[in-house]
Amino acid sequence: MSIAMKGLIASALLGGVLFAQDGTSNNMTSMTSAGIPAADRSFMYKAAQGGMAEVELGQLAQQNAENANVKAFGQRMVTDHSKANDQLKQLAAQQGVSLPATLDAKERATKARLAKLHGAAFDKAYMQDMVMDHKQDVAEFKHESTAAKTPALRDWAQQTEPTLESHLMEAEKIAPQVGVSGAASAKMGQASEGVSAQSH
């Protein structure tokens, strides 16, 4: 074999090694860029948990509630949150994020507590929970709609937040009908005093 031929073979082998290394480097870079911040993952995980809980509690409301408006609210929770949950699942799949498949201990405990109630007692406990939950949800989604680092997640939070605000308004309208307006107002007053005290 001539020296020139050996040189060509060596060049080809070296080029192949460099190409392979370059390809590996590009793959590693794309994998890194595909990862999303821990805070975004945490929000997605919490949103998935909350969404599943709203659906299951909404189903429970249709079975255990006495007030027709509470039953209708429960049906809306199933419909709206099922849609939002499906959107979140698609987003998570695209981002390579694993979402929970079952309720966590806290949500299971809430469901177990409400499952023992029927009629007026259920209506009161359920709507009180719905007012409190949606106040927290609206605040968290408003924050994520600007703070999320992942564009697709930020868009989803922006699209979902108005629906949650609508849920909160409806829950606050139904709550007095089942006797929880006083409790809700008291809790809101305590929260406001806490914020006021912290700001001084």
The CATH number covering residue 89 comes to 1.20.1260.10
Are residues 149 and 55 both part of a single domain?
yes
pLDDT band, residue 23 (cuts 50/70/90):
very low
Q: pLDDT digits over 144-177, tens only? A: 999 999 999 999 999 999 999 999 999 999 999 9
User: Average pLDDT in the 35-52 region?
Assistant: 94
The pTM of this model reads 0.74
Which residue reads 């080809």 in tokens? 12
Per cent of the chain over pLDDT 70 is 73
Are residues 138 and 57 both part of a single domain?
yes
Q: How far is CA 155 from CA 84, 122, 136, 139, 140, in A?
A: 12, 35, 19, 16, 14
pLDDT band, residue 25 (cuts 50/70/90):
very low
The residue among 153 and 186 whose pLDDT is bigger is 153
Are residues 25 and 72 both part of a single domain?
no
Q: Is the pLDDT of residue 192 over 90?
A: no
Tell me what pLDDT residue 36 has. Answer: 85
Residues 193 and 35: their CA atoms lie apart, in Å, by 40
Q: Is the pLDDT of residue 22 over 50?
A: no
Tell me what pLDDT residue 182 has. Answer: 55
Tell me what pLDDT residue 1 has. Answer: 54
Q: pLDDT digits over 78-97, tens only? A: 999 999 999 999 999 999 99
Are residues 74 and 172 both part of a single domain?
yes
User: Average pLDDT in the 175-200 region?
Assistant: 54
Q: Is the pLDDT of residue 30 over 50?
A: no
Can you give the length of the chain in residues?
Answer: 200
**CB-based burial label for 171 (10 Å; 0-12, 13-18, 19+):** buried
Are residues 54 and 11 both part of a single domain?
no
Q: pLDDT digits over 122-145, tens only? A: 999 999 999 999 999 999 999 999
Tell me what pLDDT residue 12 has. Answer: 41
Which residue reads 């009161």 in tokens? 124
Are residues 188 and 99 both part of a single domain?
yes
Range of the structural domain that residue 27 is part of: 1-34
Are residues 133 and 101 both part of a single domain?
yes
Provide the number of structural domains found in the chain. 2
